[in-house]
Chains A and B, each alone.
Chain A
Amino acid sequence: MEQDETEALKAELRKHGILTTTFEELYNWGRKNSVWPLTFGLACCAIEMIATTMARYDLARFGAEVFRASPRQADLIIVSGTVTKKMAPQVVRLYNQMPEPKYVIAMGACAISGGPFRDGYNVLKGIDRYIPVDVHIPGCPPRPEALIDAFMTLQKKISEQQLTGEGRPRHLYAELPSEFKVPDYGEHGLEPTENAEVWNPLKVIQG
Chain B
Amino acid sequence: MNPNVFLMMLAANPWPSIVALLAGALAFGIAPLALAKLWAVKFSPAKPGIDKNAIYECGLESRGDAWIQFKASYYLYAIIFLIFDVEAVFLLPFAVAFTGLPVGACVAMLVFLLLLLEGLVWACQKGVLTWS
Contacts and interface: CB of A to CB of B under 8 A. Distances in A.
Interface residues of A, number: 24
Contacts of B45: 172-174
Contact of B52 (A90, A96, A171): A96
B15 interface: no
B8 interface: no
9 contacts: A90-B60, A93-B51, A94-B58, A97-B56, A100-B47, A101-B44, A173-B45, A174-B45, A178-B49
B43 A96 contact: no
A97 B43 contact: no
Give chain B's interface secondary structure class.
loop
Contact of A164 (B43, B49, B51, B59): B43
B130 to A, nearest CB: 34
B44 A178 contact: no
Nearest to A100: B47
Contact of B59 (A72, A91, A178): A91
Interface in B40-63: 43-45, 47, 49-52, 54, 56, 58-61
A182 B54 CA distance: 13
B43 A179 contact: no
A47 interface: no
A182 B60 CA distance: 11
Contacts of A177: 47, 49
A125 to B, nearest CB: 20
